[in-house]
């Protein structure tokens, strides 16, 4: 029995050591990833500065150089956002490991909020007794002020959250209300401003450099890097919500799938990218689950994208006859093949094209045999 107990203790110690090494390796990997993305963002930033200086030196006549600068700014905002996401991930992993210091990315010094913006003081209720000993003999000794930049339609303001400090005359300890909650780390931007930035970027297709220019005209100087930093932080904060939506959509036994074209600004031109949509809507089948949609972006229409989006899912997929879905319907697909439910609207459209165009299929220029179809 003693030998068995000794062996179990040894195995437990070995397992604990292995888990510690794995956790340390994960922290190191997160640190390296944060350093790499930060370095890439810094390189892009320096290249952008060089391009701007060259444009100033050689004049404003080159439209090609102006478009190149716009493209570099777009690339920079994506790298800055990715760098912030990786930094937050590294901080979370490092917090679990005592022997790994958190990675901190060097950021350009943020300018103070403009003095002409109105200030709104929100004073948190002060404690009535000492938080240490419970005595009511406390007096104010100062205050901490946290300034959060907030956006109101057609109006800017800075919200000052005041946390008064009190010291106890009995135990000489300091009492103060806890710091306010912020949606993003170092929360200098209020939730309404964050929502505005995200909506303008993803809903209105306004790049961050355009937003920065508009904010500057309104008297608030926010650099592209500063805005991109908040986009990356918001992406990390909203990831759990996206994961819940994805899990809810992929829990359905029936999905509607489709893709649509979206313009993607590329070097010197605009490319055609794709936005993939998977919709769960059981209302026509008297289902009680709420409807939801899951979106994915891809720079092309390769068949690998729907295979990756629906990996592990099986059920009935209603979609068009795009060949990229064919691998989902294969009998040897794991965990099970997807059942195809083709779209009647797409099929009916071809019959109308045959009837109207006398046997010529429009769209791809392919010749079709003549057919007589009476329009419904």
CA–CA separation, 189 vs 78, rounded Å? 19
**Could you tell me which of 186, 26, 183, 224 has the C-alpha nearest to residue 105?**
186
pLDDT value at position 267? 73
- Is the Cβ–Cβ distance between 279 and 255 less than 8 Å? yes
Question: Which residues have C-beta within 8 Å of that of residue 373, sequence separation ≥ 6?
Answer: 351, 352, 354, 355
Instruction: Give the contacts of 184 (CB within 8 A, at least 6 positions apart).
Output: 194, 230, 233, 234, 237
**CB-count exposure of residue 73 (10 Å: 0-12, 13-18, 19+):** buried
pLDDT score, position 53: 67
Tokens matching residue 260: 């649509």
Q: In which element (H, E) is residue 272 found?
A: strand 269-280
What pLDDT sits at residue 360? 52
Q: What is the pLDDT along the chain (376 residues), one digit of tens a residue?
A: 677 777 777 778 888 888 777 777 777 777 778 777 877 777 777 777 777 766 665 555 455 566 666 777 777 777 777 778 877 877 777 776 655 455 555 666 678 899 999 999 999 989 999 999 999 999 999 999 999 999 887 789 999 999 999 999 999 999 999 988 888 877 789 999 999 999 999 888 888 999 999 999 999 999 999 999 999 999 999 999 999 999 999 999 999 999 999 888 777 778 899 999 999 998 888 888 999 999 999 999 999 999 999 999 999 999 988 889 999 999 999 889 999 998 777 777 778 777 777 655 544 443 333 333 333 3
For residue 172, report the phi and psi dihedrals to the nearest 5 degrees: 60, 25
| pLDDT recorded at residue 68 | 67
pLDDT number for residue 141: 92
- Among residues 348, 343, 342, the alpha carbon closest in space to that of 373 is found at 348
- Contact (Cβ atoms closer than 8 angstroms) between residue 298 and residue 305: yes
| Angle between helical axes of 2-58 and 63-96 (0-180°, round to 10) | 160
Task: Specify the pLDDT at position 179.
Answer: 87
pLDDT of residue 27: 79
pLDDT of residue 174: 94
Helical H segments across the chain, by residue range: 2-58, 63-96, 191-198, 208-217, 224-250, 304-309, 344-357
- Tell me the C-alpha distance between 105 and 119, whole Å: 30
367 beta partners: 360
Residue 32 three-state SS: helix
Per-residue model confidence (pLDDT) at position 1: 63
**Residues 89-102 as b or e (16 or more Cβ within 10 Å = b):** bbbebbeebeebeb
Domain ranges of the chain: 2-96, 119-240, 251-342
Q: Which two structure tokens, joined as six digits, stand for 324? A: 């990229």
List residues bridging with 294 in a β-sheet: 278
Question: Tokens for 336?
Answer: 């099970």
């Amino acid at each position: 029995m003693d030998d068995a107990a000794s062996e179990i203790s040894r195995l437990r110690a070995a397992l604990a050591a292995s888990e510690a090494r794995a956790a340390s390796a994960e922290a190191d990997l997160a640190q390296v990833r944060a350093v790499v993305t930060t370095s890439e963002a810094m390189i892009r930033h320096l290249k952008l500065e060089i391009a701007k200086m060259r444009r100033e030196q050689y004049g404003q006549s080159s439209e090609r150089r102006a478009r190149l600068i716009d493209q570099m700014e777009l690339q920079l905002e994506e790298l800055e956002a990715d760098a912030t996401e990786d930094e937050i991930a590294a901080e979370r992993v490092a917090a679990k490991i005592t022997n790994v210091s958190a990675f901190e990315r060097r950021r350009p010094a943020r300018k103070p909020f403009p003095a002409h913006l109105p200030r709104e003081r929100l004073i948190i209720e002060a404690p009535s007794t000492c938080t240490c000993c419970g005595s009511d003999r406390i007096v104010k000794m100062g205050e901490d002020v946290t300034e959060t930049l907030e956006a109101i339609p057609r109006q800017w303001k800075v919200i000052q959250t005041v946390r008064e400090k009190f010291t106890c005359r009995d135990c000489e300890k300091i009492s103060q209300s806890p710091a306010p909650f912020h949606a993003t780390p170092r929360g200098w931007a209020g939730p309404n401003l964050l929502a505005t930035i995200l909506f303008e970027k993803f809903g209105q297709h306004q790049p961050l450099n355009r937003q920065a220019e508009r904010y500057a005209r309104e008297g608030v100087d926010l650099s592209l890097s500063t805005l991109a930093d908040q986009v990356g932080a918001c992406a990390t904060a909203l990831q759990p919500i996206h994961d819940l939506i994805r899990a809810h959509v992929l829990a359905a036994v029936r999905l509607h799938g489709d893709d649509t074209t979206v313009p993607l600004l590329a070097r010197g031109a605009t490319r055609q990218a794709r936005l993939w949509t998977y919709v769960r809507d059981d209302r026509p089948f008297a289902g009680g689950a709420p409807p939801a949609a899951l979106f994915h972006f891809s720079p092309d229409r390769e068949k690998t994208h729907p295979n990756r989006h629906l990996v592990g899912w099986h059920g009935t997929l209603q979609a068009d006859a795009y060949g990229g879905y064919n691998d989902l319907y294969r009998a040897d697909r794991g965990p099970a093949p997807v059942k195809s439910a083709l779209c009647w609207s797409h099929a009916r459209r071809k019959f109308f094209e045959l009837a109207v165009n006398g046997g010529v299929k429009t769209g791809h220029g392919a010749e079709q045999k003549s057919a007589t179809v009476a329009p419904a």
